[in-house]
Amino acid sequence: MAEKTKERTTGEKLGDLIMAFGSAMGDVLDDPQVKEKAKELSRVVVDAAAKAWGDRIRDEQAKRKVRTVGKAAQDFGKSLEDHFKTEKAAQAESTRTAG
């Protein structure tokens, strides 16, 4: 029998995004308090979005803003990735020249 799945709301998806971001930053910073604050923030966002989101997602201006947020998140992720690649390369170079 096919299992019915509940479609997640936009607010829930946004909350997931914030929680994932906070969790990743908590891992990067090795700080469990950052992870916990991200969980709290994601719950607040889901609650607020559920109340306010409604028809706004159909509004073109709101859609553009959401795309802008998405692009900013991608840019930030790429920036972090580049930073860690550069840092790793510098450590490898330092190890190679020291040895």
Domain boundaries, the chain: 10-58, 59-99
The whole-angstrom separation of Cα 35 and Cα 26 is 5
The whole-angstrom separation of Cα 90 and Cα 26 is 24
Segment 7-34, tens digit of pLDDT: 777 677 777 877 787 777 778 778 888 7
Residue 1 has pLDDT above 50, yes or no: no
For residue 57, the model assigns a pLDDT of: 61
For residue 99, the model assigns a pLDDT of: 63
- Mean pLDDT confidence for 66-95: 84
Residue 51 has pLDDT above 50, yes or no: yes
Total-model pTM: 0.50
pLDDT category of residue 64 using cuts at 50, 70 and 90: confident
Tell which wins on pLDDT, 4 or 79: 79
Helical residues (DSSP H) of the chain, grouped into ranges: 10-29, 32-52, 60-98
